[in-house]
Amino acid sequence: MEYHSPVLLNESVEGLNVDPNGIYVDLTFGGGGHSGEILKKIKKGKLFAFDQDEDAEKNAISDKRFRFIRSNFRFFYNFLRYENIKSVDGILADLGVSSHHFDSEDRGFSFRHEGELDMRMDRNAKTDAKHILNNYTEQELMRIFREYGELDNARKVSQLIVHHRIEKELKTIGQLKEALVSCYKPHTEHKFLAKVFQALRIEVNGEINVLKAMLQQTLLALKPGGRLVIISYHSLEDRLVKNFIKSGNFEGKVEQDLYGKTNAPFELINRKVIVPDEAEIEMNPRARSAKLRIAQKI
């Protein structure tokens, strides 16, 4: 089984506009698909790849131009500074959960499997989905399901979880699905559970705060003319990426100087968001929701 099929591979790597002698960063190494393609374009350059998952490290590429760093990408700029790298030519991030994670029953990322409610990208992390479901207050649960799952019935979902855990701790995917069976109709089951699991995964891994921290660091790490290439998969991520590229902040508020000149940090390379074509979606259905944005630092 392939670890992960890289999404929008050619489009994203072309978007980096690789300089054969440049320094590049792949913030989401995974199965190494994007990194491998970047290395094909590098001669005397260097590629640093980050991933916090121990399984991804097994895919590390043996090449003197390549360096794998097992770390959350929220710390990538500190690592570059430690290595005395002042700026880089391009940064790529594929924010999607890898196929490997969805297909691994023991990781708890997919509602299609039976298994424990885990969802940790980094298995050394202390907080997993079980802890959240069994310890968060009803109000805290309602917040994550409303904000991160964008569920209209977040209150009912939270009430049912709290009610069920009184009698028995929620440990498995099956137990969670059984607790929430009254929240959806058969034809909406997939969509509903996808939102529930998305919300839990984002909370477990602190994904929104991590993404914000990473985006802010790209402004420090990229040299003028350097490229930022980001693939996102849901509206929460994409909105943050879109606003940040547009304005340098997460609200999308473009500021102007005294002379009315816009202080935008990036120039858009693709005015219209890039999405997979039908051929790619047919080969890899998980690519369906992908959105690619490419920008160049001013």
- Please determine, looking at this structure, whether the domain spanning 105-205 carries the CATH number 1.10.150.170: yes
Distance CA 292, CA 269 (A): 11
CATH 3.40.50.150 residue ranges for the chain: 9-99+207-297
Percentage of residues of the chain with pLDDT beyond 70: 95
pLDDT at 1: 41
Residue intervals of the chain classified under CATH 1.10.150.170 are 105-205
pLDDT band at 257 (very low <50, low <70, confident <90, very high): confident
Helix (H) / strand (E) element for 222: namely: strand 222-232
Q: Is the dihedral of CA 24, 46, 49, 63 positive or negative?
A: positive
Over residues 79-88, the pLDDT tens digits come to: 999 999 999 9
Residue 31: is its pLDDT beyond 70?
Answer: yes
Q: pTM of the entire structure?
A: 0.92
Q: What is the pLDDT of residues 220-239, one digit of tens each?
A: 999 999 999 999 999 999 99
State the pLDDT confidence band at 255, using cuts at 50, 70 and 90. Answer: confident
Percent of the chain's residues with pLDDT above 90: 84
The model's pLDDT over 53-81, given as tens digits with 9 standing for 90+, comes to 888 899 999 999 999 999 999 999 999 99
Alpha helices in the chain (DSSP H): 9-15, 33-41, 54-57, 76-82, 99-103, 129-135, 138-147, 154-167, 173-179, 189-205, 207-221, 235-247, 278-283
Average pLDDT over residues 204-217: 97
Please give the CATH topology (third level) of the domain spanning 9-99+207-297.
Rossmann fold (3.40.50)
The 10s digit of each residue's pLDDT in 163-203 is 999 999 999 999 999 999 999 999 999 999 999 999 999 99
